[in-house]
Amino acid sequence: MHGLMQEWPLVCHKIIDHAARQHPNREVVSRSVEGPIVRTTYAGVRDNARKIAQLLAREGFQPGDRIATLAWNTGRHLEAWFGIMGMGGVYHTLNPRLFPEQIAWIMNHASDRAIFTDLTFMPLVEKLVPSVESLRKVIVMTDAAHMPETALPNVVSYEEWLDEADGDFEWADVGEDAACGMCYTSGTTGDPKGVLYSHRSNVLHAMMAAMPDAMGVGSKDVILPVVPMFHANAWGLGQTCPMIGAKMVMPGGKMDGESIYELLDTEKVTFTAAVPTVWLMLLQYLEQNDKKLPYLKKVVIGGAACPRAITEKFEKNYGVEVIHAWGMTEMSPLGSLCTMKPQHAGKTGDALLDIKQKQGTAPFGVEMIVTDDDGKELPWDGKTFGRLKVRGPAVASSYYGGDGAEQFDEDGWFDTGDVAHIDPDGYMQITDRSKDVIKSGGEWISSIELENLAVGHRDLAEAAVIGLPHEKWGERPLLVVVAREGCAPSRDDILAFMDGKIAKWWMPDDVAFVDEIPHTATGKIKKTALREQFAHYRFPG
C-alpha cells in the first residue's frame, strides 16, 4: 500500500528558496578577495543564483554538466553553488592546495565544462586551461574594475556576466537522486577518487548536521565556516546555514589567527568550524594579544584528531564548547560528533575531556560498525578495535567512474580505511588508519596512540610511529621524533617516559631522531614518505 503524502523531492534549490522566503534579510558577510568586507542577504544570494542558472542554461550547459569552482569561502562562491545546482548542474569543488598537475588530472577525470574562480587563482587557471579540453568557459568572481589581463579565451568577470541576466528562470526540474555536487578525495594513496553527491544526500545531510545533538544550530546563530567549501563541502555548512536561516560569515582567503579573530569579534560569531591547525593559530593569537571570545559559543573541530590541549583551552580559558567531529569526503562529510548524552550530565574536568578525545557518536542517518579483517562484527566495549565501516543516505555508494570498488561491500558497508573502537555508549574513537596500524604477532598496535603518548614528553615537538618489518613478529613499531629546539632527549629517556603507560608489547623497538617529519597537503603526517625514508632501517639486534 502506498502512503498518501505529497511528492516533494529533496532538491537543493528548495533550500535557497526557503532561506529567501523565511530569512530574506539574514546576512551573508564575506571578507572579499579584493579586500573589503562585503554583505549580501539570502534574498540576494537567491537572486544571483537564479541569474547564474539562467546564464548557464542559455549558454548551452546541460543538467549533469560538471562545473568546477576554485575559490575561497565567499558569498559569490555560495551563489555559484546554488546557481549550478539550480540549473541541474554539478558543482565540482577543487582544492587549490594540490599540485597543478593533480588538479588538471582531476578536472579531466571529471570532464569539467566551466570553472568559477577567484582572482587569487588566475595564474593557476591559466596553467590549467590548456590541459583540460572539456573546459569551455572561465568565470572570474570579481567585477570589471578588478579584472586581470588574460590571454585565455571565453573569460568573463562575474559581475559583468550577471548583468546579462534578469533572473527570470525556473529551477531545473531534476529529481532528488540527480547528482548536484562533486569532490575528489585527497589521494594520499593512489589517484584521487570522485565522490558524487545527490540533491537528496545534500538535503538530508544538512538536516542531520543541524540537529541539536549534532552541530545544534539555528536561525539565531552567526556561523563562520573556516573550513573551506573545497574541503568536503565546508562540512555541509553551505547547505545547513541557508536551511536554518543562520547568518553566514565567510573568511575569504585569510585564515590566520588575527583575521579569524577579527571576524569572530566584529560579526559576533556564535559558531565556527575548522581543522585543529587553524585553532592552534587562533589560540596563539588570543594568548599573545590577551583577547577573549565573548560571543562564540561552539566550535567544531575535525579533519584530524583534536589534541586535548586545544579542547581544554577553548573550554576552560574561553568558555567555548568544543565539538570534536569525524568524517570523510565520502560521507558528505559528517560521520560522528562528540556531544554529550544524558549519562554524561554533570561530568567536568578530566572525565569530560576523556570523552571529548573521542570522535563521538553517529547522528541519525549514519550507521557504523567495527569489524575484523574477515568482516566479523566486533563488540562495542571501548577497546576492541577494527575496521570502521559506515552506511547511510549521505554516504557514497561507489566512486565516480567505478574506481575503488573494493571499499564497498555487498551489504552496503563502506570501509572507511580508519581503524576505531566504539564504547558501550556508542562513542567511536579513531585509533589509526588501516594502512598505518602496526600488525605485531597477529595483534594490532595503534600508531596514533603511541604518537599521542610520545608528544607528551616535554622535549619533543612532534612524533610519528610506523610499522617496519620484523623477522619474528611480522612488524614492530619505530618511533620517529623531532626534538624541541634546544632540547636533546635520549632514546632511553623517551622510552622510560612511555614505559608503564601502555602494554609492554606496544613499546616501540627503537627511537629515530629526525629534523623534520613529512606532511601532506592537508597537514597530516605523510606515513608513506616516512616508510620510504626508513625502508632500509633495521631494528637493533
Question: Which positions are annotated as active-site residues?
Answer: 185, 330, 439, 444
Q: What minimum distance in Å lies between the beta carbon of 399 and ligand ADP? A: 12
Q: Which range touches ligand ADP (CB under 6 A), out of 158-166, 246-254, 298-306, 472-480?
A: 298-306
Cell, residue 210: 543541524
399 binds ligand ADP (CB under 6 A): no
304 binds ligand ADP (CB under 6 A): yes
DSSP state at residue 173: -
Q: What minimum distance in Å lies between the beta carbon of 370 and ligand ADP? A: 14
470 binds ligand ADP (CB under 6 A): no
Q: What minimum distance in Å lies between the beta carbon of 69 and ligand ADP? A: 16
361 binds ligand ADP (CB under 6 A): no
Residue of 118, 221, 267, 418 interacting with ligand ADP (CB under 6 A): 418
Q: What minimum distance in Å lies between the beta carbon of 70 and ligand ADP? A: 16
225 binds ligand ADP (CB under 6 A): no
332 binds ligand ADP (CB under 6 A): no
Cell 594568548, located at residue: 287
326 binds ligand ADP (CB under 6 A): yes
Query: Cα 366 from chain centroid?
Result: 17
Measured from the CB atom, is 280 or 507 closer to ligand ADP? Answer: 280
What whole-number distance in Å separates Cα of residue 493 and Cα of residue 498? 9
Distances (CA, A) of 361 to 110, 217, 327, 407: 34, 17, 11, 22
DSSP calls for 68-91: EEE--B-HHHHHHHHHHHHTT-EE
365 binds ligand ADP (CB under 6 A): no
Measured from the CB atom, is 260 or 305 closer to ligand ADP? Answer: 305
Element (H, E) at 387: strand 386-391
Buried b (16+ CB within 10 A) or exposed e, 59-74: eebeeebbbbbbbbbb
522 binds ligand ADP (CB under 6 A): yes
**Prior bond of 123 cis (ω within 30°):** no
Q: For strands 414-422 and 428-433, give the pairing.
A: antiparallel
The interface with ligand ADP within residues 68-87 (CB under 6 A) comprises none
Q: Which range touches ligand ADP (CB under 6 A), out of 83-91, 280-288, 296-304, 371-379?
A: 296-304
Residue of 416, 431, 440, 446 interacting with ligand ADP (CB under 6 A): 416
112 binds ligand ADP (CB under 6 A): no
- At CB < 8 A and 24+ separation, what contacts does 343-346 make? 343/425, 344/425
Question: Of 336, 337, 333, 303, nearest to 395 (Cα)?
Answer: 333
Cell 608528544, located at residue: 455
432 binds ligand ADP (CB under 6 A): no
270 binds ligand ADP (CB under 6 A): no
Q: For strands 27-31 and 247-250, give the pairing.
A: parallel
Q: Applying CB under 6 A, which residues contact ligand ADP?
A: 185-186, 232, 302-305, 324-329, 333, 359, 416-418, 430, 433, 522
